[in-house]
Chain A
């Protein structure tokens, strides 16, 4: 996610290394690079211009940042401005105080509305709500069927009246249906349309009038170019949207839409959608600060922790914490648990994106492959319990046995062993130095600490609900 922008910015900062302080000269070089990085990332032209102007004023305005080197100084300013650009704080979906929460989805053709509708339904269900999906796309061939299949997958009822009824009537009837059958949220999937299509935009306005949605969300393909702001502005003018969901964020999106839309429409990005599979982890809440940290290559430890928190049981977490604090290092049993849990946290490549200092890992450009996970599991399953606890036992003859048992080569086993060692080393390092450093940079360490100590209480509260 945002790799090309992230790489460009970081290499720009690097060039400031070794310079004594920020001067008019090196600032303007840096800003030229930043500007180009932004434009190549499809950030709207006007947004880019204003952004660069603000950075310039701040960098030259001699905000004396004491001990910070020029590259850290500029990185911090840009980080803060990026956060600002994306809207400061995360905003959630509003839930209606009484009656069903009606969420209406709108957007261009092919933005991903139907898929998002299903992911949203799943999310609501996980939160203990009773969603109803509404098939209001009567134009695209088989759109209703698609929603029905996704409804089955997510075990969510789908309300449809075929293709002969007007979407306005379908929407109105669906809310009645929801009231009658105790659904407390309604997700209306509308047909994709161009923002310049008067007739179809009018249809959306009519739906809005009839059902008075709690939330109108615009679905935008994150890969959209300079036109993203036109689309968003038009939909916003016609419908007054409440927020935006960015889709296909895993398609090497440059970040342009993410950085431009909020600024131009003043409407928050509420979720980002990743992956084709309908799963809860595929719809992430949008946190401007975390996103800005990802763009600056500092990863997103908070999201990683939250994802982990969702899949690890309390006991597993405690055990892990104990081992880490006692500096014992992890064994293959832990490794196995982690592998299993990792799968539940979402696709590997997306998790990698969240890793802090990903770019500083010993192996560059590593593309995680899910099949490695299967191999690793097979190897560990072929070990004795003793061996799992104590990897040092693994001599040549044991490795030969394991390789036969798991259908792998000794080489693969060796690699797994060294991976475990590397992970232990990294964990120690992270604990020892990377964390305070990161805390200073993005201010996330205090949050981390609080979070860790708060965790058990939060769990209990959740259960009692």
Chain B
């Protein structure tokens, strides 16, 4: 069953891929998530062992671990309430039985995986948003290269006309990926750059148009208004656009991410979240919180600097990686 959920093995969504590839991607995600031996989340598997009884102390220790992983107080409490209920109704007493309950409850909060897929709306438009330094431009570079590898013609719109050298940064990424870049020049009106880009994309018969935007803090009202405008202009220039609105969130961010998601979502309704920089020691618990509290599914995660380190998010893998013990290699549940 896990295998069906397991579809993060690279660019293809095909489930019939080799075990090796899956294993290696799993290992990397795991090693990304548990860099040091005393990681909190591998502590979790130390807690849940045969012989230890389920009691309030244990519950509190689990809560502590979840909070330390940036899952957030509210989400943690909801999660633990559900777990307590199941412990009661299923009559569990040994902590080793708790792992699967916890996993399934987290999975429950994460919802069904919704991979990013290009649909047949030529050009399929993707608007990329986020606060400063979240990793938008890098994500776009990786996305473009992925679509091109899949045989699509990709255009990128340089909608960040504010930050110094943002256009140059994007142009280097586009060169690497083989995508065409539509520039507006520094201090050009972003909405007009995007408008032009949509027409260029239609004219050049592109399959995908990815729109970069300037990083902005969600607390800046005028900048959020600017985003809404970009969204409106896109919709006017092309029916149904933007087809996909991706919010890029730094994986090391704390509870603030919820506010980010909420306010960006008000400016332009978000269809998915990209969580970047999960290869550090950040536990990325915010992934769970964002999914649970905003309702926008996490679609992609960034686990490294290489071009193919942008992966489809697979809830089951993510949860397994959270619970995996570093020394144990592949967790039992994966040894099908």
Residues of A in contact with B (beta carbons under 8 Å apart): 36, 39-42, 45, 108-112, 140-143, 145-146, 148-150, 153, 194-196, 221, 223-228, 230-231, 234, 248, 250-254, 256, 276, 349, 367, 369-370
Contact = CB atoms under 8 A, between A and B. Distances in A.
Contact of B280 (A112, A194, A367): A194
B253 interface: yes
B69 interface: yes
Given A110-B134, A141-B172, A225 B73 contact: no
A251 B172 contact: no
B69 A226 contact: yes
A14 B218 CA distance: 29
A148 B186 CA distance: 14
Contacts of B164: 145-146, 149-150, 153
Interface in B20-39: 35-36
10 contacts: A42-B256, A45-B67, A110-B133, A142-B172, A143-B165, A145-B169, A195-B281, A252-B218, A252-B259, A256-B254
Contact of A221 (B74, B133, B166): B133
B254 A254 contact: yes
B282 interface: yes
Contacts of B254: 42, 223-226, 228, 254, 256
Contact of A226 (B36, B70, B169, B277): B70
Contact of A109 (B35, B135, B253, B283): B135
Interface string B82-104: 00000000000000000000000
B259 A108 contact: no
A53 to B, nearest CB: 15
Contacts of B255: 40-42, 225, 254
A87 to B, nearest CB: 21
A196 B255 CA distance: 23
Contacts of B219: 250-252, 349
B133 A111 contact: yes
Given A40-B73, A248-B131, A223 B162 contact: no
A198 to B, nearest CB: 11
B279 interface: yes
Nearest to A192: B133
B221 A367 contact: yes
Interface of B: 35-36, 64, 67-70, 72-74, 131-135, 162-166, 168-169, 171-173, 217-222, 250, 252-257, 259, 277, 279-283, 285-286
B252 A227 contact: yes
A196 B35 contact: yes
Given A141-B173, A251-B217, A225 B253 contact: yes
Contact of A194 (B70, B74, B132, B279): B279
A225 B70 contact: yes
Given A110-B250, A256-B254, A276-B132, 15 more contacts: A40-B73, A146-B168, A148-B165, A149-B165, A196-B36, A221-B252, A223-B131, A225-B256, A226-B254, A226-B283, A228-B252, A230-B282, A234-B281, A251-B219, A370-B222
B175 to A, nearest CB: 9
Contacts of B133: 109-112, 221, 248
A227 B280 contact: yes
A226 B259 CA distance: 17
B218 A109 contact: no
A140 B169 contact: yes
B169 A225 contact: no
A39 to B, nearest CB: 5
A109 B166 CA distance: 15
Contacts of A109: 133, 135, 277
Contact of A108 (B72, B220, B280): B280
Contacts of A40: 72-74, 255
Nearest to A252: B219
A148 B132 CA distance: 19
Contacts of A234: 281
Given A145-B168, A146-B169, A223 B73 contact: no
Nearest to B35: A196
A223 B70 contact: no
A311 B133 CA distance: 31
Nearest to B175: A141
Contacts of A45: 64, 67-68
Contacts of A228: 252, 254
Contacts of A225: 70, 252-256, 282, 285-286
A141 B64 CA distance: 40
A111 B280 CA distance: 14
A256 B279 CA distance: 21
B24 to A, nearest CB: 19
A280 to B, nearest CB: 18
A80 to B, nearest CB: 25
Contacts of B259: 252
Given A42-B255, A109-B135, A221-B133, A231 B218 contact: no
Contacts of B281: 195-196, 227, 230-231, 234
Contacts of B171: 142
A224 B169 contact: no
A194 B257 CA distance: 20
A220 to B, nearest CB: 10
A117 to B, nearest CB: 12
Q: Which 6 pairs, one residue from A and one from B, show the smallest C-beta to C-beta distance?
A: A225-B254, A110-B133, A42-B254, A141-B172, A146-B165, A149-B164
A387 to B, nearest CB: 31
Nearest to A49: B64
A227 B70 CA distance: 8
Contacts of A148: 165
B217 A250 contact: yes
A226 B68 contact: yes
Nearest to B168: A142
Contacts of B282: 225, 227, 230
A21 B335 CA distance: 61
A233 to B, nearest CB: 10
B169 A248 contact: no
A251 B253 CA distance: 12
A251 B256 contact: yes
Contacts of B74: 40
B217 A248 contact: yes
Contact of A248 (B35, B132, B162, B257): B132
A170 to B, nearest CB: 18
B252 A108 contact: yes
B135 A254 contact: no
Given A45-B67, A149-B165, A248-B217, A254 B73 contact: no
Contacts of A149: 164-165
A227 B256 contact: no
Contacts of A253: 256
Given A141-B173, A349-B219, A252 B256 contact: yes
A216 to B, nearest CB: 20
